[in-house]
Amino acid sequence: MAGIKTIRDNLTGTFSKIIVGAIAVTFAMFFGWGTMFSNSDVNIIASVNGEKIDLYDLDLEMARVQSILAQRFEDPDFTVEEETLKSLALNSLITDALILDFLKQNQIEVLDLTAYKLLSKNEIFQDNGQFSLGKVNTFARQNGFLPGKYIESISDDIAINYWRMGLGASSFITSKELNQNIKLANQTRDVTFTKINQAEIEGSIKLADEEVLNFFEENSSFFQSEEKAKVNFIEISLKDLEEKQLIDEVVIKKEYQAYLDSFDSTSRRSASHLMLNISEERNEEEALLLAEEIKKKIEKGNDFQELVNEFSDDEGTKNSGGSLGVSDGNAFPEEFEIALENMEEEQVSNPILLETSIHLLKLTNIQTPIPEEYESKKEGIKQSLVEEAANLEYIDSIELAAELTYTADNLEALAAELNMQLKTKDFFSKGEAEGLFKEKSLLNSIFDDSSVKEGNISELIEINNQYGIVFELEGFQAKKTKDFQSVKEEAKSLLTNNLIREKMNLLERSMVGKMDGGASLEEVSKENELKVESYKSVSRDSSLFTQNVLAEIFNEPKSNIGRSYSSVSLTNGDTLIFRLDKVTYLNNEVADDQKDSLESFFLEERSESELVDLQISMQDSASVLIN
């Protein structure tokens, strides 16, 4: 619980401000104002222990991941394929959801009030030095956020980051452990080894047809055909319903007029800033003097973003060139808005004095929204109307189908009632399922539902909120043992593999047994015509062995030197038997600064390992569903 206490103790401070600043600008950088999101369950992409993750969350997380990757590779234009970005973002969202669920179960919560408190420290959310909730909501909407989601996102980020910090603060390494780790890192080992070659064992195995047939008969359960089912079904498809919708152009024009009536043509200005704090270390006069010097550098051609990196005190926007996002004239402090009103693109303002800071403001872009012409907007409006009408019809059809499954005598009557086509899926097994029939809930119902096997109509099975299926079995083929000739080669291969493992295990046990009885590795290897090799001064990063072999060599207790033997399986199927001959500790002196770096490294590795173990434990016990 020490980590949880650390979380509670650290819900204030500089790091919180950095989190808020990062959240405030990331989304605007990638999606800009005007991005629209829906709260419909159609947009749910996953759930973790019942908590839903939607497309809004995915879009935002993709923006964050892209930003992190661009910073990590120090390339603002760095991009990855969209599907890869989606996968990374979804994994991140699931991990975060598991952490948030864990915190919730332990009654750890960051209230919205905490998020607002942190936002209040950012001057873009202040009006005459006072926190303005209206500016928060305006900023959120202009940058594509739903205000409630924006605050929730900040609260969640604060909780997750301090949970990680809490775990890190709870990890420690003693001086004894540090010295021991340094000593182990500088250790080398001498080993002598031999290999049991799988290919040679395989070459010695000759199988008669009778042996393969006996194996087949004794293990018939390995060679059974899968169950197969033939089903009649009706499919309620949202996509099919969309294709059937007919939208009158009069309705489209009416929607276009509503679009024109509500269109906001207010100019949007994107701005960046360089902030100098007024503090005990630097008074107003000194800050103003420095701002004027920086302005002169800009006038001489110095890059604004480089000066932001060098001088700005706003950690939240520093990594994005001082970006403040976009304003329609109300999002920024009044002093900013007045200055921007009279500036041209790429122009930098004179120093602007706020209550506790001085700013140089750069107007990076002016956007004056213009409504789209009817012809360019027409198809989009039509598609929206089609989707809306299809969704309503889909819901009505799903509800009616669910009700009829309890009253209809057969599937044909149900299809007629719904005015839908009755379809047939010919015999297929679970492994041969394709399309919608790969859905786990549908497969389980087809092959495992006793009521369906008795001839009854299935319940309505809804898939991904876009398809509903009701079916009945027309035919069912149970498992049966395959004909020997059709699986002869498969049986031969399986029997061969079994015999290889048996022979290799028997030889390994025999050799180790003799060595435990006093024979040397060299003697036993010679007896079995195996080659013996020795490597000296093998280090932990040696290329002589694979990592799993090195792990076994360095896990061997020093007390076993020269008198014990261990084995390890290689990736190619061979078995390596080795003897530890010598352990050497290199007398490499470690300077104090190197020791500090190593301590940080070992501590970080331990903390990361503990974090991964905990996250794996969470995921193993969680209910994670991905649509």
Percentage of the chain surpassing pLDDT 90? 39
Domain boundary among 447, 477, 507: 477
pLDDT at 496 over 90: yes
Q: Which of 51-55, 60-64, 295-299, 611-615 has the lowest mean pLDDT?
A: 611-615
Count of C-beta atoms within a 10 Å radius of residue 210: 8
Please, which pLDDT band fits residue 627 given cuts at 50, 70 and 90?
low
According to the model, what pLDDT value does residue 285 have? 93
Cβ–Cβ < 8 Å for 48, 624: yes
pLDDT at 10 over 70: no
* 18 and 153 inside one domain: yes
* 242 and 269 inside one domain: no
According to the model, what pLDDT value does residue 431 have? 86
Domain boundary among 367, 401, 417: 367
For position 618, which CATH number holds? 1.10.4030.10
Highest mean pLDDT among 169-183, 411-425, 541-555: 411-425
According to the model, what pLDDT value does residue 590 have? 60
Computed over every residue of the chain, the mean pLDDT equals: 82
- Report pTM: 0.45
Total domains in the chain come to 4
Residue type, 127: D
* 473 and 496 inside one domain: no
According to the model, what pLDDT value does residue 319 have? 81
Please, which pLDDT band fits residue 347 given cuts at 50, 70 and 90?
very high
Question: Does 384 fall in a domain?
Answer: yes
* 274 and 418 inside one domain: no
Count of C-beta atoms within a 10 Å radius of residue 131: 15
Q: Which of 54-63, 438-447, 593-602 has the lowest mean pLDDT?
A: 593-602
| Radius of gyration, alpha carbons of the chain | 34
Please, which pLDDT band fits residue 145 given cuts at 50, 70 and 90?
low
* 501 and 448 inside one domain: no
* 6 and 39 inside one domain: yes
- Helix extents (H) in 543-590: 547-555
Domain boundary among 420, 449, 477: 477
* 290 and 363 inside one domain: yes
The token pair at 585 is 């500790």
According to the model, what pLDDT value does residue 619 have? 73
C-alpha distances out from residue 494 to 242, 345, 480, 486, 570, Å: 51, 73, 19, 14, 20
pLDDT at 132 over 50: yes
pLDDT at 525 over 90: yes
* 147 and 55 inside one domain: yes
Highest mean pLDDT among 115-124, 299-308, 547-556: 299-308
Convert the pLDDT of each residue in 83-114 to its tens digit. 888 888 888 888 888 888 888 877 777 777 78
**Which one is predicted more confidently, 348 or 110?**
348
Q: How far is Cα 600 from Cα 605, in angstroms, rounded to an integer?
A: 8
Please, which pLDDT band fits residue 180 given cuts at 50, 70 and 90?
low
According to the model, what pLDDT value does residue 585 have? 80
* 163 and 26 inside one domain: yes
Question: Does 255 fall in a domain?
Answer: no
pLDDT at 143 over 70: no
Question: Does 215 fall in a domain?
Answer: no
Question: Does 591 fall in a domain?
Answer: no
Question: Does 596 fall in a domain?
Answer: no
Please, which pLDDT band fits residue 201 given cuts at 50, 70 and 90?
very high
Question: Does 286 fall in a domain?
Answer: yes
pLDDT at 156 over 70: yes
According to the model, what pLDDT value does residue 36 have? 30
Please, which pLDDT band fits residue 198 given cuts at 50, 70 and 90?
very high
Please, which pLDDT band fits residue 599 given cuts at 50, 70 and 90?
low
* 55 SS3 class: helix
For position 298, which CATH number holds? 3.10.50.40
According to the model, what pLDDT value does residue 30 have? 33
* 362 and 380 inside one domain: no
Cβ–Cβ < 8 Å for 263, 374: no
The token pair at 386 is 């089609």
* 356 and 380 inside one domain: no
C-alpha distances out from residue 321 to 122, 362, 443, 545, 592, Å: 17, 10, 53, 47, 37
According to the model, what pLDDT value does residue 54 have? 78
Q: Residues 257-282: what's their mean pLDDT?
A: 90
Question: Does 211 fall in a domain?
Answer: no
Which domain range does residue 507 map to?
187-199+484-585
According to the model, what pLDDT value does residue 429 have? 92
Please, which pLDDT band fits residue 28 given cuts at 50, 70 and 90?
very low
Which H helix or E strand runs over 488?
A: helix 484-516
Q: Residues 234-243: what's their mean pLDDT?
A: 91
Q: Residues 24-43: what's their mean pLDDT?
A: 37
According to the model, what pLDDT value does residue 360 have? 95
According to the model, what pLDDT value does residue 381 have? 92
The token pair at 415 is 């299809």
Question: Does 62 fall in a domain?
Answer: yes
* 471 and 498 inside one domain: no
pLDDT at 397 over 70: yes
